[in-house]
Amino acid sequence: MKLTIVKAPGVEIELEQVTEVFCPRGYVYFMPDKMSFETFGRTIRDAEREKNEWIRRYENVLQGLKYWREKALEK
């Protein structure tokens, strides 16, 4: 896998490559400095849960609007 980093002159970049068995095949994660993989994983999991909750709420609103539209068109 090739990563390209674009930086300003004079900016030093320190990269650490860590192989983690819990990382899905073909994925690369960029983690903030001083964050463990477990903490990072929990953060990603929580973000996924929140995203799925918003999708569920949105779909419920759409279903409700469709229901009330059909009710209004019945009469």
Smallest Cα–Cα separation from 18: which of 43, 5, 42, 35?
35
Exposure string for 40-70, b = 16+ CB within 10 A, e = fewer: eeeeeeeeeeeeeeeeeeeeeeeeeeeeeee
pLDDT, tens digit, 9 for 90 and up, residues 6-35: 999 999 888 888 887 778 888 888 887 788
What predicted TM-score, i.e. pTM, was given to this entire model? Answer: 0.57
pLDDT tens digit sequence for 44-70: 899 999 999 999 999 999 999 999 999
4 vs 56: CA distance, rounded Å: 36
d(CA 60, CA 62): 5
